[in-house]
């Protein structure tokens, strides 16, 4: 081969390789990533994930309250630059709990005039296409948009108000040779693509492949093999029927998954894997959860040679364990694992029964290549009372760099404002995120979040954590998390073995009930305003305690005594348990932790009733919280 011919061939090969690496990226291709679950195992090379947010740079808790950290810089007119990136990329997610009617101006490709403008609130309210359901909305106190906004040669977002509070903008970078088209809300086919995605997320997913059905009666101490596959392929779906059989305070039925004879890729309680909240079904995401008494999982799970999935029924002394009827269905496709283009599925279980002061809870920490695709967290305070542990921020370091820093735990799950009515105050499931539970009496909550079009690739390492407490990880907690990722092999060997202590749901001895989330029933003329109960004509207020564990308790309350304080009697059904308790004092005084009475909670008695003494001058009950202490 002569020298000239060799140069020509080399040149052609170089051009072809360069063209092969060029990616066409626009709003439609980014939307396709959200619906194309089959591609979830595929590596994304030459792209990195980042986030701008209002987090407190001093490691304290001003993550948006003052607005001090809620912008990158100010324009000459006082407007706030809240996002600014060079090169090519795509904004994947915009979140806030504090939207306003001020304008957002988006500048692409170095333009001096905005190419797109929208009111901040219109990103979420469904009034402006394409920022509509299911990609945009508000629930659980948070306002979120997953509408992809691709940009070429840089992007700047300017907030035209004078003050912005909490916000997060998550984005991915692309290479300079990628063929990126700037965001266009009128792009042909956009409406059809949104409708297709909406339909796919609303209807139960059907997994491709051959259906394998198995069943057995599983007894304590035994293991049942759901699947033992001996040729290449991938599991595309798992359905575990009778999800109610896996409930309970002792999560002793485990699921174990092993690919190609390696160490287990999944090994944890069934309840934790499928997103139960403290032993009871909760999560109903697009990929994982429990619905219609079926546990389901649609994460693709490729393998090169073999796959084994087992259910293990741990035997535990001192508790009543009954056999369960296992009924399962697995879907298996023949497409083999491609080690060059995709990772295998892993789920890291971390039951940290007592968080460490000064150190965050770790979702995932390890070395190697892969991408992060999901989080489930159950979090319970070890101190009774308000869920202040959920003030902690998520922090993500990838390949040695700080890539993402959040503004609060419910914010990480696209929520906001815990303990407020109709905000982060109950369980709620959406396709990509949700709350698993919220209980002030138990001081516990939890959430989940899937990363699909915004999955987080790493080449060398990842450390993904969440704090517990507003500052310095100063609120002790019982945290159990599951981190989902794809990689050529497990990036950490620190997979705990389920033991009695690690699978047991904690039930505290002291329970606190706060007025903002109390369920009241009223008889007679009673006005309720926050923690103030007012009745002049002998009214009754029934306080629902049905969510609390059965048992005998001493009932205390944090109260105020006042000159207009009422006298009440306290009842359970038709039994009076305190004939006269006075909220009266000559001058206003706080009386924390005041004993009211002893009560029993059981299947039939699950409330207390306050009956006011008729008195038009002494008619006020001021009660900030109830405190129940279990008697041994």
Note the pLDDT tens digit of each residue in 286-326. Answer: 999 999 999 999 999 999 999 999 999 999 988 999 999 99
Contact between 466 and 361 (Cβ < 8 Å):
yes
Q: Residue 205's pLDDT is what? A: 64
Report how many domains make up the chain.
3
Q: What confidence tier does 16 reach under pLDDT thresholds 50, 70, 90?
A: very low
What is the percent of the chain with per-residue pLDDT over 90, rounded to a whole number? 93
What is the CA 513 to chain-centroid distance, rounded? 24
Residue ending a domain, among 138, 170, 202, is: 202
Residues 379-396 as b/e (b if ≥16 CB within 10 A, e otherwise) read: bbbbebbbbbbbbbbbbb
Contact between 432 and 286 (Cβ < 8 Å):
yes
Is pLDDT of 1 > 70?
Answer: no
Neighbours of 271 (CB within 10 A): 30
Is pLDDT of 4 > 50?
Answer: no
Is pLDDT of 580 > 60?
Answer: yes
pLDDT tens per residue, range 475-518: 999 999 999 999 999 999 888 999 999 999 999 999 999 999 99
Residue ending a domain, among 145, 180, 202, is: 202
Query: Minimum mean pLDDT among 192-196, 212-216, 326-330, 551-555: which range?
Result: 192-196
**Is 243 a domain residue?**
yes
What is the CA 332 to chain-centroid distance, rounded? 29
Together in a domain, 475 and 551:
no
Read off the pLDDT of each residue in 540-550 and give the average, rounded to a whole number: 97
Neighbours of 525 (CB within 10 A): 13
Contact between 445 and 465 (Cβ < 8 Å):
no
Q: Give the separation between CA 16 and CA 172, rounded to whole angstroms.
A: 26
* Domain CATH number, residue 551: 2.60.120.260
The single-letter DSSP state of residue 205 is P
Is pLDDT of 8 > 80?
Answer: no
**Is 535 a domain residue?**
yes
Contact between 428 and 144 (Cβ < 8 Å):
no
Residues 442-455 as b/e (b if ≥16 CB within 10 A, e otherwise) read: bbbbbbbbbbbbbb
Which among 128, 196, 204, 140 has a CA at the least distance from the CA of 411? 140
Q: What confidence tier does 254 reach under pLDDT thresholds 50, 70, 90?
A: very high
Q: Give the separation between CA 485 and CA 100, rounded to whole angstroms.
A: 36
Question: Beta 253-259 vs 307-313: how paired, if at all?
Answer: antiparallel
Q: Residue 18's pLDDT is what? A: 44
Residue 209: exposure state from Cβ atoms within 10 A (0-12, 13-18, ≥19): middle
What is the CA 37 to chain-centroid distance, rounded? 19
Domain ranges, residue 560: 511-630
Q: What confidence tier does 204 reach under pLDDT thresholds 50, 70, 90?
A: low
Together in a domain, 52 and 138:
yes
- Alpha helices by DSSP H, listed for 307-387, are none
Q: CA dihedral in degrees (28, 464, 62, 409; nearest 10)? A: 80
* Domain CATH number, residue 232: 2.60.120.1390
pLDDT tens per residue, range 385-401: 999 999 999 999 999 99
Q: Residue 22's pLDDT is what? A: 77
**Is 2 a domain residue?**
no
Together in a domain, 325 and 419:
yes
Residues 458-492 as b/e (b if ≥16 CB within 10 A, e otherwise) read: beebbbbbbbbbbeebebbbbbbbbbbbbbeebbb
pLDDT tens per residue, range 424-453: 999 999 999 999 999 999 999 999 999 999
Q: What confidence tier does 199 reach under pLDDT thresholds 50, 70, 90?
A: confident
Q: Residue 23's pLDDT is what? A: 86
Together in a domain, 455 and 587:
no
Together in a domain, 177 and 293:
no
What pTM was computed for the model? 0.94
Together in a domain, 191 and 330:
no
List Cβ neighbours of 530 (8 Å cut-off, separation of 6 or more).
Answer: 515, 516
**Is 14 a domain residue?**
no
> How many residues appear in the chain?
632
Q: Give the separation between CA 446 and CA 275, rounded to whole angstroms.
A: 10
Locate 62 and state its tokens: 């001003």
Is pLDDT of 243 > 50?
Answer: yes
Together in a domain, 547 and 405:
no
Q: Give the separation between CA 72 and CA 76, rounded to whole angstroms.
A: 13
Together in a domain, 517 and 499:
no
Q: Give the separation between CA 416 and CA 142, rounded to whole angstroms.
A: 5
Q: Residue 68's pLDDT is what? A: 97
């Amino acid at each position: 081969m002569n020298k000239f011919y060799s140069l020509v061939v080399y040149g052609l090969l170089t051009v072809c390789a360069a063209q092969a690496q060029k990616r066409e990226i626009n709003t439609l291709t980014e939307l396709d990533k959200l619906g194309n679950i089959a591609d979830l195992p595929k590596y994304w090379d030459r792209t990195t994930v980042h986030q701008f947010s209002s987090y407190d740079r001093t490691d304290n808790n001003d993550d948006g309250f003052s607005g001090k950290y809620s912008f990158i810089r100010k324009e000459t007119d006082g407007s706030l630059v809240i996002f600014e990136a060079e090169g090519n990329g795509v904004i994947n997610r915009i979140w806030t709990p504090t939207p306003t009617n001020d304008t957002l101006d988006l500048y692409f490709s170095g333009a001096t005039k905005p190419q797109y403008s929208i009111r901040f609130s219109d990103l979420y309210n469904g009034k402006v296409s394409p920022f509509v359901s299911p990609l945009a909305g508000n629930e659980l106190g948070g306002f979120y948009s997953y509408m992809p906004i691709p940009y070429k040669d840089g992007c700047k977002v300017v907030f035209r108000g004078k003050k912005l509070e909490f916000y997060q903008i998550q984005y991915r970078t692309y290479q300079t040779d990628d063929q990126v088209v700037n965001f266009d809300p009128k792009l042909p086919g956009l409406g059809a693509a949104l409708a297709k995605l909406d339909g796919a997320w609303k209807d139960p997913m059907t997994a491709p492949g051959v259906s394998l059905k198995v069943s057995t009666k599983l007894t304590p101490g035994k293991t049942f093999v759901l699947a033992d596959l001996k040729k290449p392929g991938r599991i595309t779906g798992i359905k575990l029927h009778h999800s109610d059989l896996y409930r309970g305070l002792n999560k002793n039925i485990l699921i174990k998954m092993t690919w190609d004879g390696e160490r287990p890729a999944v090994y944890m309680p069934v309840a934790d894997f499928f997103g139960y909240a403290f032993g009871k079904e909760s999560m109903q995401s697009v990929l994982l959860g429990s619905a219609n008494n079926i546990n389901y999982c649609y994460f693709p799970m490729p393998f090169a040679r073999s796959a084994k999935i087992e259910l293990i029924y741990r035997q535990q002394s001192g508790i009543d364990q009954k056999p369960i009827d296992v009924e399962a269905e697995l879907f298996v496709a023949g497409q083999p694992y491609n080690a060059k283009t995709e990772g295998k599925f892993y789920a890291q279980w971390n039951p940290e029964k007592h968080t460490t002061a000064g150190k965050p809870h770790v979702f995932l920490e390890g070395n190697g290549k892969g991408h992060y695709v999901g989080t489930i967290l159950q979090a319970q305070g070890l101190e009774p009372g308000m869920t202040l542990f959920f003030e902690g921020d998520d922090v993500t370091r990838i390949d040695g760099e700080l890539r993402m820093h959040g503004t609060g735990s419910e914010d990480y799950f696209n929520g906001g404002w815990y303990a407020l009515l109709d905000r982060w105050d109950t369980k709620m499931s959406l396709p990509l995120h949700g709350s698993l539970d919220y209980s002030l009496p138990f001081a516990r909550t939890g959430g989940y979040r899937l990363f699909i079009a915004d999955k987080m690739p790493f080449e060398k390492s990842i450390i993904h954590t969440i704090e517990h407490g507003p500052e310095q990880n100063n609120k002790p907690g019982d945290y159990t998390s599951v981190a989902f990722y794809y990689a050529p092999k497990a990036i950490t060997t620190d997979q705990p073995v389920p033991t009695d202590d690690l699978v047991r749901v904690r039930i505290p001895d002291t329970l606190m009930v706060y007025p903002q989330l109390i369920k009241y029933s009223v008889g007679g003329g009673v006005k309720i305003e926050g923690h103030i109960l007012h009745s002049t004509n002998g009214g009754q207020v029934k306080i629902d305690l049905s969510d609390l564990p059965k048992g005998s308790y001493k009932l205390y309350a944090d109260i105020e005594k006042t000159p207009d304080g009422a006298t009440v009697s306290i009842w359970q059904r038709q039994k009076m348990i305190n004939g006269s308790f006075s909220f009266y004092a000559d001058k206003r005084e706080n009386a924390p932790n005041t004993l009211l009475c002893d009560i029993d909670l059981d299947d039939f008695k699950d409330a207390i009733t306050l009956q006011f003494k008729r008195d038009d001058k002494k008619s006020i009950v001021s009660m900030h919280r109830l405190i129940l202490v279990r008697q041994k």
